[in-house]
Amino acid sequence: MVEPLDLGVFPTPLEDAPRLAAALGLDRLWIKRDDLIGLGGGGNKARKLRYTCAEALAAGAELLVTTGAPQSNHARATAATAARLGLACVLVLTGHAPQDPAAPQSPAAPQSPAGNLLLDRLAGAEIVWAGERPADEVAAEEAARHAGSFLIPFGGSSPTSVAAYAECARELEAQAQFDRVVVAVGSGATMAGLVAELGAARVLGFDTGASPDPEAAVRALLTSNPGELAIDQGQIGAGYDTVTEPVRAALRLAARTEGLFLDPIYTGRAMAGLAATPGAGRRVVFLHSGGLPGLFGVDQPL
């Protein structure tokens, strides 16, 4: 197992959120501020990249290649971390470039050149649009085309990055006595790492629609059978890149009770799910896994 790179600020703070706890009917609510990791714009992807990039550097990488949606937090964190390490970066993003006339129009979440995509470009990443092809196929070709490239899987989830969230769980155990952690689930390593350390019964995941089978994704990343996983699928709405009405309400609630800004795809769904789950636990930790730039990639009222 690699030693993580000494980048970012750890442990991340655990903050009390009494007004939000009262609004949600919880005895106690803490926010684990992984959005404040001082690397790559923060978030769970930055915590994972400390581990994944240690592996890349040990392999002699000069270029990081990865994939994501146009507003991918993982892609943005990879672009910024590559810059920090003096590595080149190729991001293979799904679909077409914004303003490309071939792009299918999605009224729910029109692609915007703002948000994470703006930051990807600012950090100097080369962006390749996968168009109608699967992004992982295009990424494998890009990696094969460049000497010294290191391919980071979708969402930055690999056995190496599971260790990053086992580390987060150990931080939490030292910070508070809690019943359950609430987390958004995409490619799975965040939940897998928390489950590996805390046990499945203490982790409540909310599916974001990013993976076809999130439970299989989490299980595949674990080395032993965790027992029954709690992954609630009630917040997907019409799909991954849609912003649902419960998510809008959750974004407003967090902002208006605690001045806490959540993102519209991941943490907004997890907060909407927590609000809709009265039996989530009495003392709850909510993992703020970042994603704030994604708010600025949404061109519709929140």
Ligand X SMILES: Cc1ncc(COP(=O)(O)O)c(C=O)c1O
Q: Which of 67, 190, 235, 277 binds ligand X (CB under 6 A)?
A: 190
Task: Give the contact letters, 196-215, x = binds to ligand X (CB under 6 A), - = no.
Answer: --------------------
91 touches ligand X (CB under 6 A): no
- Quick one: which of 164, 168, 166 has its CA closest to 152? 164
Given a contact cutoff of 8 angstroms between Cβ atoms, the answer to whether 176 and 30 are in contact is yes
**Annotation marks residue 72 as catalytic:** yes
Taking the least distance from each CB to ligand X, the nearer of 153 and 282 is: 153
Q: How near is the Cβ of 154 to ligand X at its closest, in Å?
A: 8
User: Any alpha helices (H) in the chain, and if so which ranges?
Assistant: 18-24, 44-58, 73-85, 116-122, 135-145, 159-175, 189-198, 214-221, 245-258, 267-275
189 touches ligand X (CB under 6 A): yes
Q: Is 300 exposed, middle or buried (0-12, 13-18, 19+ CB in 10 A)?
A: exposed
Give phi and psi for 15, each to the nearest 5. Answer: -110, 140
Q: 10 Å Cβ neighbour count for 128? A: 18
63 touches ligand X (CB under 6 A): no
The amino acid sitting at 213 is: D
Question: Binding to ligand X (CB under 6 A): which residues in 41-60?
Answer: 43-45
78 touches ligand X (CB under 6 A): no
Q: Which of 50, 74, 202, 269 binds ligand X (CB under 6 A)?
A: 74
Residues with Cβ within 8 Å of 163's Cβ and at least 6 positions away in sequence, in order, are 1, 4, 51, 193
Q: How near is the Cβ of 52 to ligand X at its closest, in Å?
A: 12
Q: How near is the Cβ of 271 to ligand X at its closest, in Å?
A: 11
Q: Are strands 28-33 and 14-16 parallel, antiparallel or unpaired?
A: antiparallel
Taking the least distance from each CB to ligand X, the nearer of 62 and 182 is: 182
Q: Which among 72, 149, 158, 187 is annotated as catalytic?
A: 72
Residue linked to tokens 């409540």: 204
Q: Which of 188, 209, 226, 297 binds ligand X (CB under 6 A)?
A: 188
Q: What is the DSSP string of 161-218?
A: HHHHHHHHHHHHHHH---SEEEEEESSSHHHHHHHHHH-GGGEEEEE-SSSS-HHHHH
Taking the least distance from each CB to ligand X, the nearer of 40 and 281 is: 40
182 touches ligand X (CB under 6 A): no
Task: Give the contact letters, 111-130, x = binds to ligand X (CB under 6 A), - = no.
Answer: --------------------
281 touches ligand X (CB under 6 A): no
Q: Which of 40, 70, 95, 186 binds ligand X (CB under 6 A)?
A: 186
Q: How near is the Cβ of 62 to ligand X at its closest, in Å?
A: 25
Q: Which residues bind ligand X (CB under 6 A)?
A: 43-45, 73-74, 155, 157, 184-191, 263, 266-267, 289-291
Q: List active site positions.
A: 72
